[in-house]
Structure 1
Amino acid sequence: MTMPTTSVLPNTEEAKAPAKGSLGVIFLTVFIDLLGFGMVLPLLPLYGKSLAESGGFDQWTTGWMLGLLTCSFSAAQFVCAPIWGRLSDRVGRRPVLLMGLTGSVIFYAIFGISAAFGSLWGLFFSRIGAGVAGATISTAQAYIADSTTPKGRAKGMALVGAAFALGFTLGPLLGSAALLLGPAAARSPWPGFVASGLSAIALFLAWRRLPESRTLSNQNQRLNASKGGMLAGMSPSVLAFIGTAFASVLAFSQFESSLSLVIDKIVQIDSQLTEIPQEASRVLAWFDPDQRMRSVDNRRSVVVLGVFVYLGLVLTLAQGFLVRRLAGRVSERLMATTGWIFAIVGLIAIGWTSRQGNFDLFLVAIAIEVIGFACVTPSVQSLISRGSDPEHQGAVLGVMQSATAVARILGPLVAMPLVAFQIDWPAWSAALFSAVGLLLFLLAVRKGGDWKVSQQPSD
């Protein structure tokens, strides 16, 4: 199977520099879109649990319903990520990114409407639709790959990771504020409505300021790039690294998807976590005249959102500063290996501290795990990109996102039933998969290196 050999190759040191400010626009676009995602994600298990219990489901069924609700987003990503990736190779990155943002505007609004009317099936529909729209994140990564050289690839991928992290940091803060706009109940519609508005801002910003990154010389070459040959356009290590990315996200998704319920159980053990000091109560009265925060459900939700803010802050500092400063100085292989070790240690500590109900040490354990994950993710993404034919960057990264979407499907399905019985079981399971991921990574680094033009098959 043949592939064109005359095109601009972003994997070379002479890769064309990105248009002025384009990477900044990508950062802002992903950040604003993920800001809405960060508002909704921590509240999703609590919303789903409330609706499932009101529907009369037993504990076991409720656990599975929460797992399905959480993973429905990733199921849609699994189906659509390779499609969006191949489409972006054919028509360009910009149109695909704009379509994805448009979908986010629509489906976050549906999330708010479903919460307002107490529709569990509406929440499912909104999350599936948001997953279809969110599957374009691999296109943003392909945009970075188009615009960076191999030495700057990990730093560029960390830029997208930092946008994710910052969205997770500020998103829960906005989610807490949005709770005050709704009734004193666990299912305020406002996080969904505000998330929709933020995605609309990201859409407008991308429409006005984001140039196209693809530089194939004519439409026929774009059509050829969209055809078969993707597997031939990979170095031997790429499939192994995709498997490593799968293991990493599977472990992290077990931790992340169960985190809200783990925190909720710790709060039930230590009720002082939801008590409002008298001084703070006086200040809060100015912003909460209707005393919505007197609701125990809302106070628990704010504690959950506060931990997600903390998680996002650690992730932002790790990927936005630590990883970006180390990129180019430390090899992706060393950075990822170190990250795996941190992640395993952190998950073991999360399991132990959650079982003990020690909230302070639980936060320390979260920081260790998140720093490890922050080192692994951009390093593996960079190695996958560097090992791929530039004309198939979108498709290959789409396959990677599809693989990680499967991991996000399996993660909640494994974690939610586990946490329903023992608070620490999801962390132990995630630590086991992380150990497998480390072994797989060590095997992957022995299989090959960067993609070279000479690897392309001739006619």
Structure 2
Amino acid sequence: MSHSPRKSALFVVFLTVFIDLLGFGIVLPLLPIYAREFTLDRSGVILGLLMASFSAMQFLFAPFWGRLSDRIGRRPVLMIGLSGSVVFYTIFGAATAWRSLFWMFVSRIGAGIAGATIPTAQAYIADVTSPENRARGMALIGAAFGLGFTLGPLLAATALISAGSAGLSPWPGYTAAGLSAVALILASFKLPESLDPNHVRRARSWYHFDALRNAVTVPTVFALLMTSFVSVLAFAKFESILAFLMHEPVDEGGFGMPLVTVLIVFALLGLVHALMQGVVRSLSGRMSEGSLATLGATICVGSYVLLGEATRHGHFGSLMAGMVLVGVGAAFLPPCLQAMISRRTDPAKQGGIMGVAQSLSALARILGHAIAFPLFYLGAAVPFWAGTGLMVVALTLILANAKRGVDFAAAAE
């Protein structure tokens, strides 16, 4: 693939991931409103299930899509995912208009299945980038995360303002569906296949157990997967509790902010994260992935300490500073860890192992969403102290494994 088609393909892949994450950015801050409007349950169980359903489906289906992309190619799998996004974001909008909890669950479960093609996008980037440019390519995924978390909450805020006191509007879902349709059309005409036919794996096993065994047998790859799991678990608790913490009354441990303000803060955090991807891409040419990951984990440790202290003392300015630092530190970790994993993996197995990585990330999000609120009720700052401990573990794993691994190409020589 020549340089120009590669740039076009990277743009389409970036757009694909951005669309997937846009829906998550729209829904995450709005879920408390859905729970209040769609059900009489006040225990939080329904809300927790609704929040976890998206990541649960990614956990189950990411390895399947990754292995399937190793078998039939990246392009067909990405096209299937985009088609699913069109359908299920449309259902998301309709469920909001109908005030239907059942169809909201259907939309989130379906969107989780369709959005589980992110590891295939990562494998696509690995296919079309050199090992030296791998981190820069993977940073596009991080930029898509950041933009999704920036524009998603802004769409949600627009819906709240236009809907008045009800706070519900179908248009964010319909907008996401329209964007998915545009990406699908663009991919149909502009996205070439990236997988070398000689690397297509024709194993009979279609799920992730072989890929997990492959990951365990590669020195340091499993440790890097665990590093990713731990860091995502810390961030999932943060993203899960943030809106709740800011919106809760002061006398209940929160900051008492209006919901629109909460959404704008979510957008600010996403913007910081997206802008930092440019910094990561720039530094990746001058620093190793291990050094960048170490820097990001160190910043995250400090930011969670600051968030804990800000929450304990009710200092909003320190909370904002801590949130910005989380956005800065977290921007370094996924692209650098993914680049190290892909460089140390057989290209014919990258789709499967990237699927394992995405599944572990989804599992971390499920657990993070599940434990964030019980931790909050133990003490408003407890989720951030737990995040500090998790990031210390992640930093230790990075320091222990970043320099021990060998690139697959070098090992094969």
Q: Is the TM-score greater than 0.5?
A: yes
Q: Give me the whole-angstrom Cα distance separating, in 2, the residues matched to 1:121 and 1:354.
A: 36
Moved more, 378-387 or 98-107: 98-107
Is 2:268 the counterpart of 1:310?
Answer: yes
CA contact (8 A) 2:247 2:256 kept: no
Residue in 1 that maps onto 2:13: 26
Q: Does residue 1:199 correspond to 2:186, yes or no?
A: no
Letter in 2 for 1:238: V
| SS of 1:236 mapped into structure 2 | coil
Aligned partner (choices 31, 39, 42) of residue 29 of structure 2 = 42
Structure 1 residue 116 displacement after superposition: 2.6
Residue 425 of structure 1, CA deviation: 2.1
Q: Residue 56 and residue 29 in structure 1: after superposition, are their counterparts in 2 closer, same or farther (change >3 A)? A: closer
Separation in 1 of the partners of 2:136 and 2:383?
Answer: 31
Q: Which has the higher contact order (CA 8 A, sep 6+)?
A: 1
Deviations 1:272-312 (A, max 9, x none): 986xxxxxxxxxxxxxxxxxxxxxxxxx3311210111001
Q: How does 1:270-419 map to 2 (within 5 A)?
A: 300-319=258-277, 321-419=278-376
Deviation at 1:431, TM superposition (A): 1.6
Separation in structure 1 between the aligned mates of residue 256 and residue 229 of structure 2, nearest angstrom: 35
Identity %: 48
Letter in 1 for 2:166: A
Instruction: Structure 2: give runs of 5+ residues left out of the alignment.
Output: none
2:306 and 2:322 in contact (8 A); partners too: yes
Choose which of 165, 170, 175 in structure 2 pairs with 1:184: 165
Cα gap change, 1:341/1:224 in structure 2, threshold over 3 Å: closer, same or farther? same
Structure 1 CA distance for aligned equivalents of residues 254 and 112 of structure 2 = 35
Q: Is the 8 A contact 1:176 1:302 kept in 2?
A: yes
5 Å-filtered alignment, 1:137-216, equals 137-216=118-197
Cα deviations across residues 166-220 of structure 1 (Å, max 9, x unaligned)? 22212222222233443531333332222222222222222221111112249xx
**Among candidates 384, 388, 391, match of residue 434 of structure 1:** 391
Structure 1 residues not aligned, in runs of 5+: 1-14, 275-299
Q: CA deviation at 1:68?
A: 2.3
- Alpha-carbon distance in structure 2 between the residues aligned to 1:213 and 1:268: 55
Give the deviation of 1:363 after TM superposition.
Answer: 1.1
Q: Contact 1:76–1:131 (CA<8 Å) still a contact in 2?
A: yes
* 1:446 Cα offset (Å): 5.3
Residue 237 of structure 2 aligns to which amino acid in structure 1?
Q
> Structure 2 counterpart of 1:81, which letter?
A
- Report if aligned partners of 2:247, 2:255 keep a CA contact under 8 Å in 1: no
Match among 237, 244, 249 for residue 254 of structure 1: 237
Is residue 2:46 matched to residue 1:75? Answer: no
SS in 1 for 2:408: coil
> Which structure has the greater CA radius of gyration?
1
1:328–1:437 CA distance, 2 compared to 1 (3 A): same
**Relative to structure 1, is the Cα distance of residues 322 and 414 closer, same or farther in structure 2, using a 3 angstrom cutoff?**
same
Match of 1:422 in 2: 379
SS of equivalent residue, structure 1 residue 130: helix
Q: CA RMSD in A?
A: 2.6
The whole-number CA distance in structure 2 between the counterparts of 1:108 and 1:264 is: 26
* Aligned-partner SS, 1:214: coil
CA contact (8 A) 2:159 2:171 kept: yes
Distance 1:356 1:186 in 2: 31
| Matches of 1:152 and 1:226, distance apart in 2 | 32
Q: Using the alignment, how far apart are the partners of 1:46 and 1:421 within structure 2? A: 24
Q: C-alpha distance in 2, partners of 1:418/1:49? A: 22
The structure-2 alpha-carbon separation of the partners of 1:267 and 1:106, relative to structure 1 and needing over 3 Å to count, comes to: farther
Counting helix residues as a fraction of each chain, which structure ranks higher? 2
Range with bigger deviation, 261-270 or 105-114: 261-270
Partner Cα separation in structure 2 for residue 88 and residue 178 of structure 1: 37
Using a 3 Å threshold, how does the CA distance of structure 1 residues 217 and 376 change in structure 2: closer, same or farther?
A: closer
Moved more, 322-331 or 163-172: 163-172
Q: Please, what TM-score do these two structures have when normalized by structure 1? A: 0.82
Whole-Å separation in 2 of the counterparts to 1:65 and 1:191: 22
Aligned length: 408
Structure 1 residue 270: Cα displacement: 12
- What CA distance in whole angstroms lies between the structure 2 residues aligned with 1:48 and 1:128? 16
- TM-score (ref. length: structure 2): 0.91
Contact 2:255 2:314 in 1 (8 A): no
Partner of 2:222: 239
Matches of 2:376 and 2:33, distance apart in 1: 14
Output one character per residue of 1:137-164: Cα deviation in whole Å (capped at 9) or x when no partner. Answer: 1111111000111110000000121122
Give the Cα separation in 2 of the matches to 1:379 and 1:126.
32
Equivalent in 199, 202, 218 of residue 223 of structure 1: 202
Q: Distance in 2 between matches of 1:263 and 1:353?
A: 12
Distance in 1 between the 2:47 and 2:256 partners? 25
- Please point out which of 263, 274, 285 is paired with 2:246: 263
Task: Give the 3 Å change call, closer, same or farther, for CA 256–306 of structure 1 in structure 2.
Answer: same
Alignment of 1:129 with 2:137, yes or no, is no
Instruction: Specify whether residues 334 and 340 from structure 1 end up closer, same or farther in structure 2 by C-alpha distance, changes over 3 A only.
Output: same
Rate the CA distance shift 1:23–1:56 in 2: closer, same or farther, 3 A: closer
What is the letter of the counterpart of residue 312 of structure 1?
A: G
Q: 1:240 to 1:56 in 2, by over 3 A?
A: closer
Q: 1:35, CA displacement in angstroms?
A: 2.7
